[in-house]
Structure 1
Amino acid sequence: MSDAHRRPATDRPYLVFSDVDETLITVKSMFDFLRYQLVRRYGAAGEGRYERIMAAVRRRTGDGTARADINRFYYGHYTDESVETIDRLAAGWFAERTAAGRGFYIESTREALAAHRAGGATVVLVSGSFPPLLEPIAREVGAEAVLCTRPLIADGRYTGEVETPVIGAGKGVAVLRKLTSRPDVDPCDCWAYGDHVSDLPMLELVGHPVAVGEDEELRKRLAERAEGVTA
């Protein structure tokens, strides 16, 4: 990531949106946590359950199932789980993953967000993951808001259902809503960071989209967009 992706572009207030999994952190948080909590609770049986769930995810992905539907499928596995228990396990997951030397963060993105904050920007995390995993990350990087998938809760337990998944088009909807709530901000001044072509609905809403990683399709689409803007 070049220095140009770390410098504020304006003295006016602006927002910086960042995807999380494989953009800000090195793992896919939902699935990394799934394995962590299942093995922590059930040992070898939990590892087997994790592998079966991931095999089902791979089948759905191979069949062309929409990412939003896979997101819903994932949260279905938390049906009737205690929110308190998941919060406790999520805290353990975060502590373990962020222990010294674990390489949890993609440092170039973390440094870019810190530079934006130093320039007066408001940082917003955008993810299909859920609050117990994202809120500790937000606190650590100084993000002021988290736009994410929110599992529904009843009587202190997850129902297995979710509000609108913040995946693909859902990211665009969430970011647009945030931009609309800030009439003092020009979207052309804003930045967004993502690693996958599914982040385009978010990236295309701002003046400074940044591709993290090596997704060739994403880089191609952003290059075409830049050419269209300058033509």
Structure 2
Amino acid sequence: MSNSPDVLASYRRAGQASADAAGDVIEGHVAGTAAAFFDVDNTIMRGASIFHLAVGLARRNYFSGREVWGFGVKQLRFVLSGSENLEDMASATTAALAFVEGRRVDELLELGEEIFDDSMVDKLIPGSLALAQGHLDAGEEVWLVTATPVEVARLLARRLGLTGALGTVSEIEDGAYTGRLVGPPLHGLAKAEAVRALAEREGLDLSQCWAYSDSANDIPMLSAVGNPVAVNPDPTLRAHARDNDWRIRDFSRREQVKRIALPALSAATGLAAGLAVGYAVARTRRK
């Protein structure tokens, strides 16, 4: 994807929006100049968090089966094309957001609490949680950074006892989703921009900060801090980490990440949700 001025401005807008939507530091977390930033999917949690969320929503009849079936087919074609063009991403995400247009945020969060308990707790990665706890014990903030909707990301951070979260920001009016995003999904360069914006807001010194991820897509975020760590990294990130003398953490087989074999873009909010829901509906129809 070309890093044209317009594209970079779009990522900066998404990053700033995510930092603005991150909310206040959770009570009891003492702000300092160092913090740790954790990717979620396959770093904190096995698989894609938005996949688990969307399947849980589908099972709770949050979506219409007829709408999802047609949308899932369209999104599958998009994923298989492998496109990471910004306009293609925006188009796919806009189509996916139609599913939550007009739905209330508090409704999604209430269901999200249930889905966390039912479908996410058993997918948490103990080794990564231990790393996060180590930073908390050292008096450092710990933030999640994910393409998942920021409201859900903040829910995850709260349930895990972390400082807060950066996530994809959707427009909200009168407590309901409008069906539009504020900038692109928090993916790739947008994550790095969000970390920089949050660091400025919180008075963090990025040279003292840490970042953790399993994916080469997060190299921009990892490069933004003084202490990048590759956690059970994919081959591209492992090679990059070795070339740049970054720390690499490989957990035991029991704690190894079980990857969902989808392109990087599938982690983006709307697309993964569409695929996940289509998958859930397809399974339901086969039963």
Q: Which residue, 186, 192, 204 being the options, matches 2:205?
A: 186
SS class of match (2:148): coil
Aligned residue pairs total 210
Between 145-154 and 90-99, report the one with greater CA deviation. 90-99
1:71 Cα offset (Å): 4.7
Note the residue ranges of structure 1 that are not aligned, 5 or more in a row.
Answer: 1-11
1:56 aligns with 2:74: yes
Between 21-30 and 111-120, report the one with greater CA deviation. 21-30
Q: Which residue, 45, 48, 53 being the options, matches 1:33?
A: 53
RMSD of Structure 2 on Structure 1 (CA): 2.5
SS class of match (2:52): helix
Alignment CA distance shift 1:200-1:121 (3 Å): same
Who is 1:114 aligned against? 133
Alignment CA distance shift 1:98-1:30 (3 Å): closer
Contact 2:52/2:120 (<8 A) preserved: no
Partners of 1:72 and 1:211 lie apart in 2 by 32
CA deviations over 1:200-219 (Å, ceiling 9, x no partner): 11111112111222410111
Partners of 1:147 and 1:49 lie apart in 2 by 30
Aligned ranges 1:94-133 → 2 under 5 Å? 94-98=116-120, 103-133=122-152
Who is 1:83 aligned against? 105
CA deviations over 1:76-123 (Å, ceiling 9, x no partner): 421222323222211211121256xxx221111101000111011111
Counterpart residue identity of residue 158, structure 2: R
Q: TM-score, normalised by structure 1?
A: 0.79
Partners of 1:51 and 1:226 lie apart in 2 by 46
CA deviations over 1:182-230 (Å, ceiling 9, x no partner): 44x4322211011211111111111211122241011112222228xxx
- Work out which structure has the larger RCO, using CA pairs closer than 8 Å and 6 or more positions apart in sequence: 2
Large movers: runs of 4+ above 4 Å: 48-55, 70-73
Between 186-195 and 165-174, report the one with greater CA deviation. 186-195
Identity %: 27
SS class of match (1:152): strand
Partners of 1:39 and 1:29 lie apart in 2 by 16
Contact 1:131/1:150 (<8 A) preserved: yes
Partners of 2:49 and 2:94 lie apart in 1 by 15
Q: TM-score, normalised by structure 2?
A: 0.65
1:73 Cα offset (Å): 4.5
Contact 1:17/1:123 (<8 A) preserved: yes
CA deviations over 1:34-74 (Å, ceiling 9, x no partner): 1211121179x74x765654443332233233285355554
Alignment CA distance shift 1:222-1:52 (3 Å): farther
1:167 aligns with 2:200: no
Note the residue ranges of structure 2 that are not aligned, 5 or more in a row.
Answer: 1-31, 247-287
Counterpart residue identity of residue 212, structure 1: V
Who is 2:163 aligned against? 144
Partners of 2:120 and 2:138 lie apart in 1 by 26
Partners of 1:168 and 1:212 lie apart in 2 by 17
Counterpart residue identity of residue 127, structure 2: S
Contact 2:56/2:119 (<8 A) preserved: no
Partners of 1:175 and 1:149 lie apart in 2 by 13
Counterpart residue identity of residue 40, structure 1: R
Who is 2:282 aligned against? none
Partners of 1:49 and 1:212 lie apart in 2 by 38
Alignment CA distance shift 1:121-1:59 (3 Å): same
Contact 2:100/2:179 (<8 A) preserved: yes
Partners of 1:224 and 1:127 lie apart in 2 by 25
Contact 1:151/1:162 (<8 A) preserved: yes
SS class of match (1:129): strand
Between 33-42 and 21-30, report the one with greater CA deviation. 33-42
